[in-house]
Amino acid sequence: MSIETPDNLRYSKEDEWARREGNRVTVGVTDYAQQQLGDVVFVELPEAGKVVDRGEPFGVIESVKAVADLFSPVGGEIVEVNAALSQTPESVNEDCYGDGWMVVIELADPSEYDGLLDAAAYGDFVKSRSD
Amino acid sequence: MSATGPGHTPRTSRPNASSGIAYEEPLLFERSVEGRVGYQLPRADVPEVDPAELLGADGVRDDLPGLPEVSEVEVVRHFTRLSTWNAAVDLGLYPLGSCTMKYNPKVNERMARLPGFAAAHPMQGDENSQGVLELLHRLGGALAEVSGLDHVSLQPAAGAQGELAGIMMIRAYHRARGEQRTRVLVPDSAHGTNPASAALNGFEVTTIPTGEDGVLHPEPVAEAMAEDVAGIMITNPNTCGIFERHIGRITEIVHAKGGLVYLDGANLNALLGIARPGDMGVDVMHFNLHKTFSTPHGGGGPGSGPVGVKAHLEPFLPSPVVVQRDDGSYGLDAERPQAIGRLHGNLGNVGMAVRAWTYIRSLGSEGLQRCGEMAVLNANYLLARLRDHFHVAYDQPVMHECVLSDRGLSESGVTTLDVAKRLIDYGYHPPTIYFPLVVPGALMIEPTESESLEGLDRFADTLIQIAGEAHETPDVVREAPHRTRHRRLDETRAARRPVLTWQPEQPES
């Protein structure tokens, strides 16, 4: 099983990815997560304006196999939500790092982003779990 | 090729025995013919009244609801045909892990149909319900004895409602002591109903990770346990089919900080006559009569999820409770100011209580113990036969079920879902798949005590054959099922774009 982990992203141990632009961080689930979940059929996201802590659930993802919480990799205010996912949850499978993005968070504490795993460390983490 | 083509002599001695009738069946709506009726009512011999006058204009709809127009025989055939598509425990092994799809003895049905039970009305009064009340009282006593608890309510109509009742009682207990506790601990291997029951009671759920050996360890419980924790919900044996061997220590830890211990009784079958939750320090638990005590399950009948408690929770049991009075007669006690309330319009699904009582009385205590022993032996036998062919998540002796996974098959591209679909080709209802969530690609098998050694061997042989196919002819497995009425259904599309109501075809204009 090959897993894509783009170098320009950061990763959490809960299998979310994060991409920082300025003080804003776009968040989604990783290629590993979408492969493990299988076909995603429903994504429940919060409304913009909600404030989340790092590691706090901000939504729910449901596939044909399982239902899982989405954990925020960083803390802050959710300023944008990918509303299109309610109609096209398949984007999470087809393009998890692109159209499958879930929320944009206004960073409360920039050091939290720096504390996330880089692509190599996340790749090792995934490997350690499947061995 | 047709085995019964013209000129072919059927090889069977009974030419009428056939495997050739397998019905397709359209929706009842598609059978509808305008104006066709099952029954015709006689012409009204009283003056007609405008319904709008009686009900008000708002109470009368403008258009007819578009129900199918069919005759009686069409309705009967429709549902009888659909019934022949069912998989059922009366047709074959039904190895759904965690569900305990055991055989439902027919004597249970005989007893439930005795007129004194079947025709009893809940409003006929205690005096005229002595038999039913005695049975309920005795069943409650038997469940208390099996579980090592002190009191049982038979009201909850299903396991999840029993859970809800259990957590409501835990909440009521803390409130009565003037304590505000806000959290409940739930292991990550729990049934989804556990966190749901806690959340419905307003508790925040703290998830406790399972150890690498598939059981809960005292350390993470001790770490999470605090004065704001109302209790812990444990399933034992757990959903991996493994006995929670640290439960004694865990209940001590929880009790020491004033918390209570809830046991999810879904897997009680494995413990019957061997070990009692009450002796492990459990304060409250639910039973699934439709799992452990052989009442119908999975659409075959209503569920029943009695809830049992230790004495300190008795005041909170759902009201009313069945009591035996000093003169030996039975009645209902509804004067229970601390009770959590009612969970059922009457006393629960009483027909299920009759069946469960019949099961308990026909087996006796020795028979119940043997049932637990055989359930455990059967699961371990399957595990022993299959462990060289499938990856085993936690390879150790199990209780009543075992959890395999598709990990060894990943090179062939065959997944747990494919194995499940291929089992259908061989005439088996698939086991539970992708649960428990802590095991990726889980294939969870619970044979129950109902199966014979030959039956278990046939099932094991089939799974071993499928494991071989996965390596040699993976496409055969990946494209399964091949021998069913419909090939593999598009489950993803059904979930993403469900069509839940029948819509008449619009005439082209």
Whether B356 and B405 share a structural domain: no
Chains A, B: CB contacts under 8 A, how many? 24
A1 touches chain B (CB under 8 A): yes
Helix, strand, or coil here: A60? Answer: strand
For residue B425, which amino acid is it?
A: D
Asked if the structure places residue B146 within a domain, the reply is yes
Do residue B434 and residue A67 have CB atoms under 8 angstroms apart?
Answer: no
- Measured between beta carbons, the chain A residues lying within 8 angstroms of B433 are 65
Residue B102 and residue B449 in contact, taking contact as beta carbons nearer than 8 Å: yes
- Give burial (CB, 10 Å; 0-12/13-18/19+) of A31: buried
Angle at B56 between CA B55 and CA B59, to 5 degrees: 65
DSSP letter at A117?
Answer: B
Per-residue pLDDT of chain B (509 residues; tens, 9 = 90+): 344 444 444 444 454 554 566 778 889 999 999 999 888 889 989 998 999 999 998 999 888 888 899 999 999 999 999 988 888 899 999 999 988 999 999 999 999 999 999 999 999 999 999 999 999 999 999 999 999 999 999 999 999 999 999 999 999 999 999 999 999 999 998 888 999 999 999 999 999 999 999 999 999 999 999 999 999 999 999 999 999 999 999 999 999 999 999 999 999 999 999 999 999 999 999 999 999 999 998 666 789 999 999 999 999 999 999 999 999 999 999 999 999 999 998 999 999 999 999 999 999 999 999 999 999 999 999 999 999 999 998 999 999 999 999 998 878 889 999 999 999 999 999 999 998 888 889 999 999 999 999 999 999 999 999 999 999 999 999 999 999 888 998 888 888 888 888 877 666 55
Contacts of B478 (CB under 8 A, 6+ apart): B413, B414, B418
Q: Quote the minimal CA–CA distance from B464 to chain A in Å.
A: 24
Q: A68: which chain B residues are within 8 Å (Cβ-Cβ)?
A: 437
Among B362, B383, B400, identify where a domain stops: B362
Residue B397 sits in the same domain as residue B415: yes
B495 touches chain A (CB under 8 A): yes
**Predicted TM-score of the model (pTM):** 0.86
Question: How far does the CA of residue A21 sit from the closest CA of chain B (Å)?
Answer: 32
pLDDT reported for residue B497: 86
B176 and B228 share one domain:
yes
Tell the burial category of B296 from Cβ atoms under 10 Å away from its Cβ (0-12, 13-18, 19+).
Answer: buried
Strands B260-264 and B229-235: parallel
Domain identity same for B273 and B129: yes
- We report the CATH number of the domain holding residue B285 as 3.40.640.10
Chain B partners within 8 Å of A84 (Cβ): none
User: Is B491's Cβ below 8 Å from some Cβ in A?
Assistant: yes
Alpha helices in B113-154 (DSSP H): 115-118, 130-147
Q: First and final CA of chain A: distance in angstroms? A: 12
Lookup: tokens for B289: 């009569």
Q: How many domains does chain B divide into?
A: 2
Within a domain: residue B143? yes
- Name B489's Cβ contacts closer than 8 Å, sequence gap at least 6: none
Q: Name the residue among B192, B437, B495 with its Cβ closest to that of A64.
A: B495
Measure CB to CB from residue A65 to each of B192, B410, B434 and give the nearest one.
B434
> Measured between alpha carbons, how far is B431 from B464 in angstroms, rounded to an integer?
15
In terms of DSSP H, where are the helices of chain A? 31-37, 91-94, 110-114, 119-130
pLDDT digits (tens, 9 = 90+) for A89-112: 999 999 999 999 999 999 999 899
Count of CB atoms situated within 10 Å of the CB of B429: 18
Measured between CA atoms, the residue of chain A closest to residue B438 is A66
Residues of B in contact with A43 (CB under 8 A): none
| Interchain CB contact of A42 with B (< 8 Å) | yes
Instruction: Supply the pLDDT for residue B14.
Output: 53
The CATH number covering residue B385 comes to 3.90.1150.10
Name every chain B residue with its beta carbon within 8 A of the beta carbon of A90. Answer: 492, 496
B301 and B172, same domain (yes or no):
yes
Measured between beta carbons, which residues in chain B are less than 8 angstroms from residue A89? 496
Q: Which of A34, A64, A131 has the highest number of chain B CBs within 10 A, making it the mutation to test binding with B?
A: A64
The CA dihedral of B424, B426, B428, B431, to the nearest 10 degrees, is: -60
Token look-up 């004067």 returns B335
User: CB contact, 8 Å: B434 with chain A?
Assistant: yes
Kindly state whether residue B453 falls inside one of the protein's structural domains.
Answer: yes
* DSSP one-letter string for B67-121: -----HHHHHHHHHHHHTT---TTTS---BTTT------HHHHHHHTSHHHHT--
Same domain, B340 and B223: yes
Spatial separation of the C-alpha atoms in residues B452 and B151, rounded to whole Å = 36
* Pairwise CB contact (< 8 Å): A39 & B491: yes
Residue A14 Cα, gap to closest chain B Cα (Å): 14
**Residue B117 near chain A (CB below 8 Å):** no
Distance (Å) from the alpha carbon of A1 to chain B's nearest alpha carbon = 8
Query: Which residue, B181, B183, B190, B268, is CA-closest to B224?
Result: B183
**φ and ψ at residue B489, rounded to 5 degrees:** -85, 155
**Is residue B90 in a domain?**
no
Distance CA B402, CA B392 (A): 8
Q: Which residue has the higher pLDDT, A66 or A1?
A: A66
Task: Using alpha carbons, list the distances in angstroms from residue A81 to A63, B201, B366.
Answer: 20, 30, 60
Q: Measured between alpha carbons, how far is B278 from B309 in angstroms, rounded to an integer? A: 9
- B406 lies in which domain range? 365-488
In this structure, the answer to whether residues B384 and B333 fall within a common structural domain is: no
**B313: in domain:** yes
Residues B277 and B404 grouped into a single domain: no
- Residue B391 included in any domain: yes
Q: What is the mean pLDDT of residues A52-78?
A: 93
Q: Are residues B305 and B391 in the same domain?
A: no
Class of domain A27-126: mainly beta
| Shared-domain flag, residues B347 and B381 | no
Report how far residue B85's alpha carbon sits from residue B88's, in angstroms, rounded to the nearest whole number: 10
C-alpha distances (whole Å) from B290 to each of A20, B101, B163, B243, B273 are 53, 8, 15, 21, 18
B192 CB neighbours in chain A (<8 A) are 67
In a domain, B96, yes or no: no
The 8-class DSSP code of residue B238 comes to -
Q: Are residues B166 and B266 in the same domain?
A: yes
Rounded CA Rg of chain B: 27
| Residue in B closest to A33 by C-alpha | B440
- Are the beta carbons of B495 and A1 separated by less than 8 Å? no
Answer yes or no: do B405 and B332 share one domain: no
Give the chain B residue nearest A91 (alpha carbons).
Answer: B496
Please tell me if residue B122 touches chain A, with a CB cutoff of 8 Å.
Answer: no
Quote the DSSP letter at residue B486.
Answer: S
CA distances from B51 to B43, B54, B58, B63 (A): 17, 5, 10, 14
Residue B17 lies in a domain: no
pLDDT of residue B11: 47
Pair B380, B402: CB distance under 8 Å: yes
Dihedral pair phi/psi, residue B444, rounded to 5° = -110, 115
